[in-house]
Structure 1
Amino acid sequence: MINASKPKIWYGGDYNPDQWEKPVWDEDMRMFKLAGIDVATLNVFAWAKNQPDEETYDFGWLDEMMDKLHAEGVGVCLATSTAAHPAWMARKYPDVLRVDFNGRKRKFGGRHNSCPNSPAYRKYSTRMAEKLAERYKDHPALLVWHISNEYGGYCYCDNCEAAFRDWVKARYGTLDEVNRVWNAAFWGHTFHDWEDIVSPSSLSEEWYGANGRTETTFQGISLDYRRFQSDSLLECYKLECDAVKTYTPDLPVTTNLMGAFKDLDYYKWAKHMDVVSWDNYPALDTPPSYTAMMHDLMRGLKGGQPFMLMEQTPSQQNWQPYNSLKRPGVMRLWSYQAVARGADTVMFFQLRRSVGACEKYHGAVIEHVGHENTRVFRECAALGEELGKLGDALIDSAVKAKVAILFDWENWWALEMSSGPTIALRYVDEAHKFYDALYRAGIAADVVSAEADLDAYDLVIAPVMYMTKRGVAAKLEQYTRAGGTFVTTYFSGIVDENDLVTLGGYPGELRSLLGIWAEEIDALLPEQRNRIVVKDGAFGLKPEYECSMICDLIHTEGAEVKAVYGDDFYAGMPALTVNKFGDGEAWYVATSPEPSFLQEWLPKLCAERGIEPLVASASEGVETTLRVKDGKEYLFVLNHNAQAASFDLGNRVGADLLTGRELPGGMAELAGRDVLIVRLK
């Protein structure tokens, strides 16, 4: 339990007193108390202040602030400060500076500018973590370690290139195997010496293509470079993690992730984190279902373990094209959305607005005006008071689901570097289509990797599973044979983990499970549409639906046809099939359907398997989810509409934790942007 040392939902955020004069500190303490702030993240970008030169370490300001926060009853999430190296390090050790995709060596500036394979960076970042851990290991304010900050970005320097060769050698052993998995005979790329291998960049294999996507002539090389860079940054994290664990073995360690962030394979990272934390920054027009999916993705990284909401803005951001204010009530609503889906903390970036540089217009609990008489502060204080009253009722509770959506970073990388069939195919968007259909129906879904225990789920959905990794097809067959229901889609089962096509017909290793053969794959132009024609009123669906983007031309090999295409030369060919497999069944959606098809079909598929919504009915824009602890169930109802909405509890009864309001079951109304947390009886 992350909150064991402070048993409540932690409330706070990033605090940068190193950017302010000391008279401000006392005023901040006063306002933290008014707002109910009880955890502050310190030292995120203070490396240059802490270490003014190679040999000198000065933690005087941090000593004072740790003591001051503890005296005020505020715990500390202590960062290692290594997210931005000092200027002296870039001058003295230029190997710490990254080389970009176009081969240009960076100068000092910005952040995330440290090469993960720089010996100097690894040496000094690890030493800084050691110094901090040794100094504060027994400090009563210290609650959790925060390693670096928002890891990301790739480097293409000589150090990375040399390390890539070593990584490839360790993974494949011989050049013969490298040449095989990369299909290096194509375009005369056969390698005869390890030194011939270079980083895939705009100087070699890659370029920026349509829609800003990275294109490559050799998917296998580029896929492995992404694995390597993710592993390289992970190694930097692990070095610092091991350093602090040496002194504080019992304190949890984390680093803040960023949802569906493409650069890093977060499933691999999560194995080395005591608790997952992440930064949630939806825009004004981000669908609530997308934010919900990101929370569920972060919760799924460690098998459903509660996570930390490390950052969100109290009001507006500074880096989006249009930085809208959060409307009244939205900050509270979105905070509880995180809690509803597994967060045991509610934390902000930032607690006080910066006075200068690029984040000076990023929202904060304490605005530039410097006092508590602002709308944002009042809302933050009200939420702080509520969270205090909730106590430990919700912390360490679990979110339960009977549906799983499989998500995979390496599949994402490979799919969007594929040279065809269409640039419109976006992995996260396709996964969200399926998630959104379940979300609208009030059906809970976990977002997990194929390594997860699938036996806990009655329905497993794998949207666009282009890559079938070793052992996954057998695992899915076992799951389905034992009575599970498996759903996958167009452009699935095409390649193995090396992005080599599985020969013998699509969908490769999934062919037996699905009972189909995909002969061809048609990519539709943006303005083109086809039709899904439903056979014999299956599931009580409408007679037909639109489909677009991609159409697999499939033949059945034992599967039953539930819908066919309505147009073009493949009219009458299967568009939706189901294959009986052991005691279960496997569905194939051969084309990208309009949203209404998934919104109507998936709930019916769930209902046949006894998977029911959490409430009998709800207005559009009302979100429901359930957390369970010690046999007690807590139903969250969140109204994302600006106006009041209704929902039907059916025969469920309980009382709202926030207000004490009794809910006797049946129809109930919820004000605009309001929240209920119903302890069910």
Structure 2
Amino acid sequence: MTHKFNPISNKLPVLMHGADYNPDQWLHSPEVLKEDIRLMKLAGCNVMAIGIFAWAALEPVEGTFTFEWMDRLLDTFAENGIYAWLATPSGARPAWMSERYPEVRRVGANRVRNLHGLRHNHCYTSPLYREKTAIMNNKLAERYGQHPAVVGWHISNEFGGDCHCDYCQDAFRTWLQKKYGSLDALNAAWWTSFWAHTYTDWNQVESPAPHGETMVHGHNLDWHRFVTDQTIDFCKHEIDAVRGANPNLPVTTNMHLIESLDYRKFADILDVISWDAYPTWHDTKEDSKLGATIAFYHDLFRSLKQKPFLLMECTPSLTNWQPISKLKQPGMHRLSSLQAIAHGSDSVQYFQWRKSRGSSEKFHGAVVDHAGHEHTRVFKDVAELGQTLSTISEVVGTTTPVETAILFDWDNRWAVKDAQGPRNMGIHYEETVLAHHQAFWEQGVAVDVIGSEDDLSAYKLIVAPMLYLCREETGRKLETFVAQGGTLVTTYWSGIVNEHDLCHLGGFPGPLRKTLGIWAEEIEGLYDYDRNGLSMSPDNQLGLTGTFESHEICEMIHTEGAEVLGVYTDSFYAGQPALTANHFGQGKAYHMATRLKADFLQAFYTKIIEQTGVVRAMNTDLPQGVTAQVRTDGSSDYVFIMNFSGQAERVSLDDRSYTHLETNEAVRGEIDLPVNGIALLKRAASHG
């Protein structure tokens, strides 16, 4: 196992700390730049993301480029030891382009072309838009690719959305022809004989539309895949335009949980993964559930390339676009920022550095408020964090020791939501995945979030909640994983369809049936007020006792070699299997036939963790709402103990020798964590 990667940039071999910076909004006030430099240094900020929406400031008239302000900015950065992620400005284009070249404006699913405005309101397929972005990106690369202040390329901003123009329709048909080869193959894969929707000419195939076709699930699934591939192709087009001037500069693009794109596929064209996190902290009395949720997404983005990532955006205080804009309570900025570091980020960066004076994000949080000085609570929080980050840069490039993984595929996510299955009012796929992840988070067990195409051999334990779309190949991989000694956990609504969203014939869970040793005959959706229960069988192999409440989904299964660990308590299927375990080869596969709540998941995974021996951050019982995460360089472990419980907590350390990471003072026995507290500890590596 690789224990330490090189820094993302050798120019800045420390934890990155900075923000999105938009000096193009302040070109009329040159004194602002001078003051910003002073404040950046005061806040311990060493890197800024610049030029993200600066196209109009860089090319105010077609063919007229005004780079002088960017020259001054980057030169000033270099003089002051500040660095830049230099963005390509394609996320929002200037009005002159929309007016002169209507084809660059997106066409909605309703087939109406958009007006100018918003962000990413452009067609990724448009030859004209690709030509214009290439010109701009080439000029940026030629001018700044070797600039000492530039540490990397920030490609566009938060890619997302789709276009349904004629260019995109033609590209979709070409994509389908390449994939299927013939209309007969497409018709078979999409099951178009349903409702007499069979295609007899490629020109009849169009993208899904609210006033047209939306009910062919294979069609919907392929459209999602096409949009991902087309967006990646455009992103690669941008990368190719900047690469030549300095191939050593890393490239990234900031991601933001946009459901329309399979981010896992971006990993092949990016040097580093970055994402934007905006939790709604303090929406309940304690933040443990939300803390676990954000941990899941940190784990997901770390897992895309199995190496450190960047937290490219978060807010130092509040947002202005969430339903309720809460301030971060004392300690939460430090806790939430260092949570990202704990899960593998090598940066903490914000949107935004200085608040805009007008338009839609003028009240969005920033390091520098409208008051324009450092004498604010938020600025002090940022500066204190900057000091901490400067003292712990030895964690840069370190890895996360992981033996547990959760299977989370984007096309499965799309298919589950489109299934028109047992609970159209909400089958809660993401919520289910997050609930399983939280059970590990609460016990300080690190988790990778992987796709079905990833290598499974590094793990002892794999959890695959609601693996509705399960390819035959995925079934074989999981079968091999278990046969060779791995432990697999699955749930209801698994092994239902193949990659075309066609149901597996011969009995569910399709390719998983042999591994799980069960046959799923029926599945029932429950109303929100309905409840069932799981009664543990006497002397079951897990040693669990009692009854646990279940809700939303109940699957009726028959065992085919699996052992019954628990049965349903209610309805006409009371007494039938609800929880099973199947010994298969050298491993074991568990199946939960019903949706179970946090009390069961915590008890169940406690036993599974004991059985499998998967690595935990510390060999100790953590208080409710407290978690721990480890990064390692192979010689030293860096242990982050985080308190999201909403109250002060005391944590007992295990018997290893610890020191405080920031002070190098020895610590043993117990540590006290205040509300929103975090302890940064160091110990000799336990997994070399």
| TM-score in terms of structure 2 length | 0.95
The match for 2:594 among 588, 591, 595 is: 591
Whether 1:281 and 2:278 are equivalent positions in the alignment is yes
List aligned pairs for 1:374-523, cutoff 5 A.
374-390=376-392, 392-423=393-424, 424-523=426-525
1:288-317, Cα deviation, whole Å (9 max, x unpaired): 000000100000111x20000100000000
CA contact (8 A) 1:3 1:10 kept: no
Contact 2:367 2:379 (8 Å CA) reproduced: yes
AA matched with 1:193: D
| Equivalent residue, structure 2, for 1:319 | 321
Measure the CA separation in 1 of the matches of 2:388 and 2:443: 29
- Tell me the equivalent position of 1:50: 58
**Contact 2:146-2:245 within 8 A present in 1 as well:** no
Aligned position for 1:656: 660
**1:158 Cα deviation from its structure 2 partner:** 1.8
Following superposition, the deviation at residue 3 of structure 1 comes to: 3.6
**Whole-angstrom CA distance in 1 between matches of 2:597 and 2:323:** 28
> Structure 1's 643 and 547: CA in aligned 2 closer, same or farther, altered over 3 A?
closer
What amino acid does structure 2 have at the position aligned with 1:467?
Answer: L
Letter in 2 for 1:291: I
Letter in 2 for 1:249: P
Q: Can you list the C-alpha shifts for 1:540-597, whole angstroms capped at 9, x where unaligned?
A: 3231111111111100111111011111111111101111110001111111012110
Of 611, 620, 640 in structure 1, the residue corresponding to residue 614 of structure 2 is 611
Indicate whether 1:346 and 2:348 are aligned.
yes
In structure 2, give the amino acid aligned to 1:330. M
Residue 306 in 1 paired to residue 308 in 2? Answer: yes
1:624 to 625, 628, 645: 628
1:469 deviates by 2.2
Aligned to 1:524: 526
Distance 2:11 2:539 in 1: 57
- Aligned equivalent of 1:250: 248
1:679 to 669, 677, 682: 682
Contact 1:316/1:362 (<8 A) preserved: yes
User: What's the offset of the Cα at 1:48?
Assistant: 1.3
CA contact (8 A) 2:661 2:682 kept: yes
Distance in 2 (alpha carbons) for counterparts of 1:395 and 1:39:
15
Residue of 232, 235, 238 corresponding to 2:233: 235
Please give the root-mean-square deviation of Cα atoms over the aligned residues, in Å.
1.2
Kept in 2, the 8 Å contact 1:3–1:395? The answer is: no
What residue in structure 2 maps to residue 149 of structure 1? 157
Distance (whole Å) between structure 2 residues aligned to residue 120 and residue 566 of structure 1: 63
Q: What residue number does 2:3 align with?
A: none
Unpaired runs of 5+ residues, structure 2, are 1-6
Q: Secondary structure at the match of 1:368?
A: coil
Corresponding residue for 1:2? 8
Q: Secondary structure at the match of 2:175?
A: helix
Question: Do the aligned residues in 2 keep the contact of 1:179 with 1:191 (CA within 8 Å)?
Answer: yes
Alignment match, 1:105: 113
Which among 3, 26, 45 is matched to residue 37 of structure 1? 45
1:262 counterpart residue number: 259
Aligned to 1:213: none
Out of 631-640 and 331-340, give the one that drifted further: 631-640
1:637 aligned residue (633, 638, 641): 641
Q: SS where residue 679 of structure 2 aligns? A: strand
Q: Which amino acid aligns with 2:252?
A: T
The 1:469/1:438 distance shift into structure 2, 3 A limit, reads same
TM-superposed deviation, 1:642: 4.2
User: Which range moved further: 285-294 or 37-46?
Assistant: 285-294
Aligned AA (1:280): A
Distance (whole Å) between structure 1 residues aligned to residue 664 and residue 244 of structure 2: 46
1:572 aligns with 2:569: no
Q: Tell me, what secondary structure is at the counterpart of 1:454?
A: coil
Q: Percent identity?
A: 44
Question: Do the aligned residues in 2 keep the contact of 1:12 with 1:37 (CA within 8 Å)?
Answer: yes
Instruction: After TM superposition, give the deviation of residue 605 of structure 1 in Å.
Output: 0.9
Superposed CA deviations along residues 515-545 of structure 1, whole A, max 9, x for unmatched, are: 1110111111111011111101433323111
- Counterpart for residue 95 of structure 2: 87
Paired position in structure 1 for 2:561: 558
- Aligned 8 A contact 1:3 1:9 in 2: no
Q: Which residue of the partner structure matches residue 362 of structure 1?
A: 364
Alignment deviations for residues 143-195 of structure 1 (CA, whole Å, 9 cap, x no partner): 01000000001112222111111111111111010000000111111111100
Kindly provide the amino acid, as one letter, of the partner of residue 406 in structure 1.
L
CA contact (8 A) 2:402 2:615 kept: no
Q: Which runs of 4+ in 1 moved over 3 A?
A: none
Contact preservation (8 Å) 2:406, 2:447: yes
TM alignment of 1:132-147, pairs within 5 A: 132-147=140-155
**1:14 corresponds to 2:15:** no
Cα separation, partners in 2 of 1:678 and 1:659, compared to 1, 3 Å:
same
Query: Letter of the aligned partner of 1:671 in structure 2?
Result: P
Deviation at 1:640, TM superposition (A): 2.0
Mapping for residues 530-545 of structure 1, pairs under 5 Å: 530-538=532-540, 539-545=542-548
Within 2, Cα distance between the matches of 1:173 and 1:86? 40
Q: State the distance in 2 between where 1:257 and 1:139 align.
A: 26
Query: Per the alignment, in what secondary structure is the counterpart of residue 132 of structure 1?
Result: helix
- Looking at structure 2, the residues matched to 548 and 643 of structure 1 have their Cα atoms a distance apart, in angstroms, of 30
Q: Match for residue 177 of structure 1?
A: 185
Separation of aligned partners in 2, 1:430 and 1:271: 28
Deviation per residue, 1:176-216 (Å, 9 max, x gap):
1000000011111111110010111102123xxxxxxxxxx
1-structure distance, mates of 2:124, 2:386: 38
What secondary structure, in the 3-state scheme, does the structure 1 residue paired with 2:395 have?
Answer: coil
Deviation at 1:599, TM superposition (A): 0.8
Using the alignment, how far apart are the partners of 1:453 and 1:141 within structure 2? 38
1:223 equivalent in structure 2: 221
In 1, distance between residues paired with 2:391 and 2:591? 48
* 1:658–1:676 CA contact under 8 A, matched in 2: no
Matched, 1:128 2:136: yes
Q: What SS is found at the alignment partner of 1:545?
A: strand
Residue 166 (structure 1) aligned with residue 174 (structure 2): yes
Q: How many residues align?
A: 667
Question: What is the CA-CA distance between 1:643 and the residue it aligns to?
Answer: 3.3
Stretch moving more, 114-123 or 287-296: 114-123
Deviation digits for residues 464-510 of structure 1, max 9, x if unmatched? Answer: 00011241111111111100001111000000000001100100111
| Alignment partners' CA distance in 2, 1:48 and 1:187 | 49
Is the CA contact 2:403–2:615 (under 8 Å) kept in the aligned structure 1?
no
Indicate the larger mover: 496-505 or 122-131.
122-131
Please state how far the C-alpha of 1:623 moved relative to its aligned partner: 1.7
Distance 2:615 2:485 in 1: 18
- 1:102 is displaced (CA, Å) by 2.6
Q: Distance in 2 between matches of 1:427 and 1:265?
A: 16
Letter in 2 for 1:626: V
SS of residue paired to 1:128: helix
Comparing 285-294 and 503-512, the one that deviates more: 285-294
Contact 2:532 2:551 in 1 (8 A): yes
* 3-state DSSP of counterpart to 2:414: helix
Question: What letter matches 2:519 in structure 1?
Answer: W
- Cα contact 1:313–1:363 (8 A) shared by 2: yes
Deviation at 1:612, TM superposition (A): 5.2
Q: One-letter code of the match for 1:508?
A: G
In 1, the alpha carbon distance for the partners of 2:661 and 2:92 equals: 42
**Secondary structure at 2:394's aligned position in 1?**
coil
Q: Is the 8 A contact 1:103 1:203 kept in 2?
A: no
Report the TM-score, using the length of structure 1 for normalisation: 0.96
